């Protein structure tokens, strides 16, 4: 096994692209090292990207935010600007692991681990976040929901690295929220999760919406029909009931020791309602 710590993205991409065996990227390591210790993977090459300039920074621009691939979730929680504009994204990131893990784990790692129950991914999908990808063919940006293709699998090609997560500047009267259900009070894996992002007009009517569910299908579900249940209306009981019904019906969950299919479908609707209500309040709705 080789370990390298490149100082440039070009070097990192070149090393990954030229590796003849299996390669892994190390940022926080909260998923990678656990999988290695458990004997699930044994990479021939580990590329530590923490020394690459800019990957450990949250950058705010006129267009929005760029969250580097090595930015810890704890650092996201300390960013007042990010908390103010995207509270749902931050609250999702802050649910990953313990206090100790928070100092290491990253939302890019959470995305690339491709777990259906990843906490940050539904919130990022609801937010319309994009992944900035660097590879042998140059740079490209894709919607976050296009990265995981199944449990433990991504659409990234050989040699490609996600260098940052991109979030647009919020429109006025916008709000987002993320909620999950877990058996314990903390430090557990989501049985069901929901992210909602809303923008209102001056009368409090929903102009645009994005609704995402986690842990109820092989990948996060972005539900256009659920968004349509809210658009053009204030968040009245009829809209919330329609939202819950659509979310419950769209689930494709499994039965396991943590929850049944029936339970997950029911909770998906409940969480979507609650997350939408919180997002609506944050957007200034009454």
Q: Rounded to an integer, what distance in angstroms lies between the CA atom of residue 255 and that of residue 102?
A: 30
Q: Which strands, in side-by-side order, build the sheet including 23-26?
A: 2-4, 45-48, 23-26
DSSP summary character for residue 1: -
Q: Rounded to an integer, what distance in angstroms lies between the CA atom of residue 20 and that of residue 15?
A: 10
In this predicted structure, what is the pLDDT of residue 185? 74
In Å, what is the CA distance from 145 to each residue of 237, 265, 267?
29, 21, 22
Dihedral sign (CA 26, 32, 34, 36):
negative
61-83: pLDDT as tens digits:
999 999 999 999 999 999 999 99
Q: Mean pLDDT throughout 1-10? A: 96
Non-local (6+) Cβ contacts of 72 within 8 A are 28, 102, 103, 104, 105, 106
In this predicted structure, what is the pLDDT of residue 187? 77
Q: Which two tokens stand for residue 49?
A: 């990207």
Instruction: Please classify residue 207 by burial: count the beta carbons closer than 10 Å to its beta carbon, then call 0-12 exposed, 13-18 middle and 19+ buried.
Output: middle
- pLDDT band at residue 140 using 50, 70 and 90 as cut-offs: very high
Instruction: Please classify residue 154 by burial: count the beta carbons closer than 10 Å to its beta carbon, then call 0-12 exposed, 13-18 middle and 19+ buried.
Output: middle
142-191: pLDDT as tens digits:
999 999 999 999 999 999 999 999 999 999 999 999 999 998 877 788 99
76-117: pLDDT as tens digits:
999 999 999 999 999 999 999 888 999 999 999 999 999 999
22-48: pLDDT as tens digits:
999 999 999 999 999 999 999 999 999
251-286: pLDDT as tens digits:
999 988 889 999 999 999 999 999 999 999 999 998
Query: 167 pairs with which residues across the strands?
Result: 65
Q: Are 198 and 170 in contact (CB under 8 A)?
A: no
Q: Rounded to an integer, what distance in angstroms lies between the CA atom of residue 56 and that of residue 50?
A: 7
Model's pTM, two decimal places?
A: 0.95
Q: Mean pLDDT throughout 209-214? A: 98
238-260: pLDDT as tens digits:
999 999 999 999 999 998 888 99
Q: Which strands, in side-by-side order, build the sheet including 221-222?
A: 174-181, 192-200, 206-214, 221-222
């Amino acid at each position: 096994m080789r370990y390298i710590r490149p100082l440039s993205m070009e070097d990192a991409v070149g090393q990954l692209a030229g590796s003849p065996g299996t390669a892994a990227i190390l940022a926080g390591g909260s998923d990678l090292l656990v999988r290695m210790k458990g004997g699930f993977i044994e990479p021939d090459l580990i590329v530590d990207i923490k020394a690459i300039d800019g990957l450990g920074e949250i950058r705010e621009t006129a267009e929005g935010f760029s969250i580097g691939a090595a930015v810890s979730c704890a650092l996201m929680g300390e960013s007042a600007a990010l908390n103010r504009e995207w509270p749902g994204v931050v609250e999702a990131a802050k649910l990953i692991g313990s206090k100790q893990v928070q100092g290491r784990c990253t939302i890019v790692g959470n995305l690339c681990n491709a777990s259906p129950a990843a906490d940050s991914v539904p919130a990022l999908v609801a937010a319309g976040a994009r992944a900035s990808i660097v590879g042998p063919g140059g740079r490209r940006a894709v919607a976050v929901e296009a990265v995981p293709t199944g449990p433990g699998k991504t659409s990234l090609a050989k040699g490609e690295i996600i260098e940052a997560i991109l979030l647009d500047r919020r429109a006025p009267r916008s709000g987002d929220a993320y909620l999950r259900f877990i058996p314990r009070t903390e430090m557990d894996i989501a049985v069901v999760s929901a992210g909602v992002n809303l923008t209102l007009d001056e009368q409090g009517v929903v102009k645009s919406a994005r609704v995402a569910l986690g842990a109820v299908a092989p990948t996060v579900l972005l539900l256009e029909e659920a968004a349509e249940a809210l658009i053009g209306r204030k968040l009245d009981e009829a809209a919330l009931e329609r939202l819950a019904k659509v979310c419950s019906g769209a689930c494709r969950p499994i039965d396991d020791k943590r929850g049944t299919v029936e339970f997950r479908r029911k909770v998906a609707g409940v969480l979507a309602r609650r997350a939408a209500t919180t997002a609506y309040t944050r957007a200034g709705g009454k």
